[in-house]
Amino acid sequence: MNRQVEYEAPSWNQIYAMLLNVADKIRNSSFKPDIIIGVSRGGWPPARVLSDLLGNPNLASVTTELYVGVAETKGEAALAQPMLACVTGKKMLIVDEVVDTGKSLKLVREHMIERGATAVRIATLYHKPWSIVKPDYSEKKTSCWIVFPWEIKETIRNIIRKCGEDSSHFEREKAKLVEAGIPEAFINRFSKEITEEDEC
Structure confidence at residue 75 (pLDDT): 66
Buried b or exposed e, range 132-158, using 16+ CB within 10 angstroms = ebebbbbbeebeebbbbeebbebbbbb
With CA atoms as reference, report the closest residue to 2 among 131, 134, 162.
162
pLDDT in tens, 35-61: 999 998 899 999 999 999 999 999 999
With CA atoms as reference, report the closest residue to 137 among 97, 83, 110.
97
Q: Name the segment(s) of the chain with CATH classification 3.40.50.2020.
A: 7-146
Give the pLDDT band (50/70/90) at residue 164: confident
Task: Give the contacts of 114 (CB within 8 A, at least 6 positions apart).
Answer: none
Give the pLDDT band (50/70/90) at residue 2: very low
CB 60 within 8 A of CB 83: yes
Which range is least confidently modeled, 8-12, 77-81, 148-152, 190-194? 77-81
Give the pLDDT band (50/70/90) at residue 69: low
Over residues 55-83, mean pLDDT: 76
CB 24 within 8 A of CB 192: no
Give the pLDDT band (50/70/90) at residue 1: very low
CATH of 7-146, one of 3.40.50.2020, 3.30.70.1900, 3.40.470.10, 3.30.460.20: 3.40.50.2020
Mean pLDDT of the chain: 91
Give the pLDDT band (50/70/90) at residue 6: very high
Structure confidence at residue 199 (pLDDT): 77
> Which amino acid makes up residue 115?
R
